[in-house]
Amino acid sequence: MGKTLIIAEAGVNHNGDINIAKKLIDVAATAGVNYVKFQTFKTENLVSREAPKAKYQIENTNEAGTQFEMLKKLELDRDIHEILIDYCAQKNIKFLSTGFDLESLDLLNELNIDLFKVPSGEITNLPYLEKIASFGKPVILSTGMCTLEEVKAAFNVVVDNGISKENITILHCNTEYPTPMEDVNLKAMLTIQEELGVDIGYSDHTLGIEVPIAAVAIGAKCIEKHFTLDNTMSGPDHKASLEPNELNAMVSGIRNVELILGNGIKAPSSSEQKNINIARKSIHINKGLKINHILTQNDLIMMRPGNGISPMKLNEIIGKKTITTLPQYYKLRNEDLK
């Protein structure tokens, strides 16, 4: 099994400060994720000046106001993108960002990012999907708030515009911050795979690390998870984000799950081979026997170690004669019988 693609979602948890953004990159690099992902948008192209905040945004920022006012403070311009891309290269981690408008998608394409991530809110945005497909790069599609039919419709737009199914990964997702455990519905991820035959994953907004690890255990090839330097910081996403030690633990858990899934072949592992004869039993003599004794089941006892005749051959042994006297608790051999 190939390694799970792990995307550490810094998002807007930089709070508009490039130094915080660099510290987030440091944290992601230390954790050993594949990508650290930010968000790219031009506020004027993303929301109207009257668009209200979501309930969780109001609660997490302790401010009412509008989405426009909140997001304007969190924009990253081209220069900052280039600085962060260079910094990621220094830290040996890949840079990624989600574009939220057409102008931002063009910017990211000019900056030569590896792949494009469709956020859940854009999955019903036809011009957006067509634009992303036009770049000819792999696409990761988040599906929060979607019905299966909406997922299929977005998938078909991307495929019809030139992206092969093999280059599409679809992430099951729940767009609530944090997501209640009873709303996760990980089995829906498997439904997507069954219906569309694509690689699947999970974009997680729950608290803690259990859900992404569980998602990998049942087949996720990609995990996306928000993280922050400190989830008590002010901002829309900090409270539903992992702190650095939790991100480390999540990555470790996922990598361990990859190991434990194995190759699916049921056979003794190399580590347990040495224990086979210690733990299993062989056929032994229950009491002292004379020569030419015809064996019955009452003459035999199954005892450790297991390097003699297997108890599974008991019926082949019963009725045979001894060719010599045998002491009590003797480990029987085929050479002792005729």
Question: Which residues constitute the domain of residue 324?
Answer: 273-336
* CATH code, domain with 173: 3.20.20.70
**Crossing angle (nearest 10°) for helices 244-261 and 210-217:** 20
- Distance separating alpha carbons of residues 297 and 70, to the nearest angstrom: 82
| Percent of the chain whose predicted confidence (pLDDT) is above 70 | 99
Neighbours of 112 (CB within 10 A): 9
Question: In this model, does residue 2 exceed pLDDT 70?
Answer: no
200 forms beta bridges with 170
292 & 219 share domain: no
158 pLDDT higher than 80: yes
Q: Is residue 168 part of a domain?
A: yes
Average pLDDT over residues 147-175: 98
Quote the pLDDT of residue 51. Answer: 83
- Is 215 found in the same domain as 313? no
For residues 13 and 82, state if they share a domain: yes
Domain boundary among 237, 261, 285: 261
Q: Check pLDDT > 60 for residue 120.
A: yes
Q: Is residue 174 part of a domain?
A: yes
Q: Are residues 192 and 304 in the same domain?
A: no
In this structure, are 242 and 299 located in the same domain? Answer: no
Listed in sequence order, the residues at least 6 apart from 264 whose beta carbon sits closer than 8 Å to its beta carbon are none
pLDDT in tens, 74-108: 999 999 999 999 999 999 999 999 999 999 999 99
Query: Are 117 and 253 part of one and the same domain?
Result: yes
169 and 225 together in one domain: yes
pLDDT at 1 over 50: no
Q: How many CB atoms within 10 Å of residue 218?
A: 15
Strand ranges (E), 182-324: 199-204, 222-226, 282-285, 300-303
Instruction: Examine the domain organization and report whether 241 and 279 are in the same domain.
Output: no
Mean pLDDT value of segment 57-83? 88
For residue 247, tell me if it sits in a domain: yes
Cross-strand partners of 170: 141, 200
The answer as to whether 145 is a domain residue is yes
Q: What's the whole-number mean pLDDT along residues 132-156?
A: 98
Residue 42 pLDDT greater than 70, yes or no = yes
Statement to judge: residues 153 and 202 lie in one domain: yes
How many independent structural domains does the chain possess?
Answer: 2
As a whole number of angstroms, the distance between CA 58 and CA 75 comes to 19
pLDDT tens digit string along 268-323? 999 999 999 999 999 999 999 999 999 999 999 999 999 999 999 999 999 999 99
Evaluate whether residue 267 is within a structural domain: no
Domain of residue 298, CATH code: 3.90.1210.10
pLDDT in tens, 173-223: 999 989 999 999 999 999 999 999 999 999 999 999 999 999 999 999 999
- 243 shares its domain with 279: no
- Long-range Cβ contacts of 273-279 (<8 Å, 24+ apart): 276/306, 277/305, 277/306, 277/307, 278/304, 278/305, 278/306, 279/304, 279/306
The answer to whether position 266 is within a domain reads: no
User: At which of 261, 294, 323 does a domain end?
Assistant: 261
192 belongs to a structural domain: yes
| 326 lies in the same domain as 209 | no
Torsion sign, CA atoms 210, 213, 217, 220 = positive
Q: For residue 28, tell me if it sits in a domain.
A: yes
Write down which residue in 209, 228, 261 finishes a domain.
261
Q: Which of 20-29, 221-230, 234-243, 253-262 has the lowest mean pLDDT?
A: 234-243
Q: Do residue 184 and residue 316 come from a single domain?
A: no
Ranges assigned E (strand) in 94-253: 94-99, 116-118, 139-142, 168-173, 199-204, 222-226
How far apart CA 332 and CA 109 sit, in angstroms, is 74
